[in-house]
Amino acid sequence: MQQLKKDNFKVITDKKSARSILPNMLTLIGVCIGLTSIRFALDEKFEFAIIAIIFAALIDGLDGRIARLIKGTSKVGKELDSLTDMISFGVAPAFIMYFWKLNSLGRFGWLLCLIYVICVALRLARFNINSNQEPSWKDNFFEGIPSPAGGILVLTPLIYSLSGFDLVQINYDYIVPTFFIIISFLLISKFPSYSFKKIVIPRKTTIFLLFGIVLFFGLLLIYTFNVIAISSFIYLGLLPISFLHYQKLNKKNRNEKTQDDDDNLEDVL
């Protein structure tokens, strides 16, 4: 009987390990893509470097969802995901921007790269610690911006230069360091930003959502850098909105908690 229980436990464990292979493989592919983007930057093929980072971001958004969908989450997968984010959205964007513009700033440019990568590492460490907390309404927000968003935002000046937009003449010698400093601060700050993890889509609007996704990726294939640049600016525009929304929900939650505490008070008079 005891041997039968052991065999059953082994079968269950083996099935769970098998389910975790697919998401872990996707995560490792993300590592390879992130490293390949550095190779493209070394060859001054910055267009391909940016596309590689975008693919890494897409994989980063899929592997965790696939793991939860097939019940293949694991501690190894969690650590691999952090490693991938560190390479693809920390080290790789820093190298890309250094080879493109920051190397002209000498030691100061390299210092900005070091600061950014350290901030990504601190951001990921804090996220891993906070991910074990109990679910609450705060799960709809990140503390600071997530590392994939930071990795793409820090590339925004390069993306803008490749998009062909000539609306504003930009001095990249000032804009690039400014972006690095601002994004590094947002990564380690407690500035609330939307997580987009618990969005509820009504069934009636599903077809419009699918159409919007297809349209977005169609435009992304045709007008790649234009769409990425506009998406980056839209995300930056959402940051103050997410801050105000968070403050509103936080105030409402505090008022409800205070009201509940008042209701639970006993009349001792």
Position 8 scores a pLDDT of: 47
| pLDDT tens-digit series, residues 172-231 | 889 999 999 999 999 999 888 888 766 666 777 788 888 888 998 899 889 989 999 999
pLDDT for position 129: 81
Helix (H, G, I), strand (E, B) or coil at 41: helix
Q: Write down the pLDDT at residue 4.
A: 44
How many whole angstroms separate alpha carbon 125 and alpha carbon 122?
Answer: 5
The mean pLDDT value for 233-260 works out to 84
Q: Is residue 2 domain-resident?
A: no
Is residue 4 one of the residues assigned to a domain? Answer: no
Instruction: Output the domain CATH number for residue 171.
Output: 1.20.120.1760
> On the CB side of 238, how many CA atoms lie within 13 Å of its CA?
15
Computed over every residue of the chain, the mean pLDDT equals 82
Specify if 240 maps to a domain: yes
pLDDT at 185: 94
pTM (predicted TM-score)? 0.83
Mean pLDDT of 99-124: 93
In a domain, 109, yes or no: yes
Residue 192 pairs in a beta bridge with: 143
Closest C-alpha to 108, from 161, 181, 187, 185:
181
In a domain, 192, yes or no: yes
CB contact at 8 A, 164 and 99: no
Per-residue pLDDT at 250: 85
The pLDDT assigned to 92 comes to: 94
- The pLDDT assigned to 260 comes to 57
For 139-240, where are the E strands, in sequence order?
141-143, 192-194
Model confidence pLDDT, tens digit, residues 54-90: 999 988 888 777 777 777 677 777 778 888 899 999 9
Mean pLDDT confidence for 156-168 = 85
77 belongs to a structural domain:
yes
Q: Please indicate, yes or no, if residue 268 is contained in any of the structural domains.
A: no
Q: So what's the pLDDT on residue 72?
A: 65
Q: Is residue 104 part of a domain?
A: yes
Q: Angle at which helices 46-69 and 156-163 pack, to 10 degrees?
A: 120
Concatenated DSSP letters of 116-150: HHHHHHHHHHHHHHHTTSPP-GGGGEEES--HHHH
How many domains would you assign to the chain?
1
Domain hosting 71: range is 9-130+137-256
Q: Provide CB contacts within 8 A for 66, sequence distance 6+.
A: 22, 23, 26, 72
